[in-house]
Amino acid sequence: MLSLGLRVLVGVMETENEAPQVGPQPPSLVSQIAVTAMLTTLFLALSQIEGRSIDNDYLTSSLTLPLAALASACIGRMSPWLRLSSTVGLRVSALSIGLLAIAFAANSFAPSMFDNLFIATFFLVGSVTGYLVESRRFEESNIFLSTIVGLHFATSYAAGLGIIDGAATAQLVDLEREAIGSAFFAFWFASTALGITVTIALRGTLEDVGTGPMMSAIPTPSQNRETLIYAVLISVVQLIPLVWLGQIGDIEAFSESSHLGVLWAIFTTVAILLHAFFRAEGWHVLGVLLAVNWMLYTIGHLHEIGNELPYPLDEGGLIGSSSWFFVGFWLNFFGIMAASRGVFGDIAPQREPSGFRICGSQIPTGF
């Protein structure tokens, strides 16, 4: 009996020794590629809509830095898998040194294409991505990548804005600077929002859910579709000023300020996030009041800056005022009635803290 037990024990030990040692799985690069591909598509689509000449020189000058950021992010994502060291700090340091070596080698090979800005982008994106991935902050690394890629695309888009054409007076020069700034921030904010939307859409499927305090409490789309819906709404809102700006024909038309700008998109984003908080808390009446009155404000603002509205909202005097009061009163009335009857969800008080409160409590001070 004892000999039989010894033989079984020896057989188990031999089986364990023969079994291959399973190391860290190769990282998934789908999210980084998807974010960069989406922002590249946005850039090329807007350039095409505006009527720019998309040739090899234009593509080379516009895509070099975004693709460098993508390549660096992919290398940084491999930091845990490469096993450069046994500790996180040494792995990130070794990764940073390797990124610098690659960047300087590329610069020495083609200085005109791989300039100092390329070196800074390649080093920064890879190092930050490596640190965030080592901390299992996958979503934060994608958001950082979308911010950097969007920054470079915004610079290229604003620099080639079609309505800028050699101003002859100081007043037009100021308008051109204002147009460049509007195009830059509109594209940067829109691309960042779009990158966040792609990141949220891939969480839990093609992208692992991270454990960072910023995003870990946010449910995946399979758990709650409203997270993705709100992200899509914010992306659409941020795209409106960008697309509208691309439809303006010249600097004189831009000076009329009859388009929705970046500030409107920012405040609308705040309103959407506030509505998401109200819905998470079950405060559906407040959510309806916010949505209805912000929509009325936006329509009124469009009319105020010179856009025509259907009759009789476009009329002045008593008819116009009465029409606006009628629309505003009844929209609020029916919205409050629907919310109080539970059309938009259960209005019972929450017994547990909502996802917003959990997420806010997990973010440390100064994060």
pLDDT score at 207: 84
pLDDT digits (tens, 9 = 90+) for 88-112: 778 888 889 999 999 999 999 999 8
Using 50, 70 and 90 to split pLDDT, how confident is the model at 27? low
Maximum Cα interatomic distance, the chain, rounded to a whole number of Å? 105
pLDDT score at 205: 86
Angle at 119 between CA 114 and CA 121, to 5 degrees: 110
Using 50, 70 and 90 to split pLDDT, how confident is the model at 354? low
- What percentage of the chain reaches a pLDDT higher than 90? 47
- Radius of gyration of the CA atoms of the chain, in A: 27
State yes or no: cis peptide before 312, omega within 30 of 0.
yes
Three-state SS sequence of 171-230 = HHHHHHHHHHHHHHHHHHHHHHHHHHHHHHHHECCCECCCCCCCCCCCCCCCCCHHHHHH
Using 50, 70 and 90 to split pLDDT, how confident is the model at 9? very low
Kindly report the number of other CB atoms within 10 A of residue 18's CB atom: 7
pLDDT score at 319: 86
pLDDT digits (tens, 9 = 90+) for 188-239: 999 999 999 999 999 988 888 888 777 877 888 888 899 999 999 999 999 9
pLDDT score at 287: 93
Reduced to 3 states (helix: H, G, I; strand: E, B; else coil), residue 310 is coil
Q: What is the DSSP letter of 319?
A: H
Q: What is the DSSP letter of 31?
A: H
In terms of phi and psi (left: phi > 0; alpha: psi -120 to 50; beta: otherwise), the region of 342 is left
Q: Which has more pLDDT, 360 or 285?
A: 285
pLDDT score at 20: 44
pLDDT digits (tens, 9 = 90+) for 63-83: 999 999 999 999 998 877 776
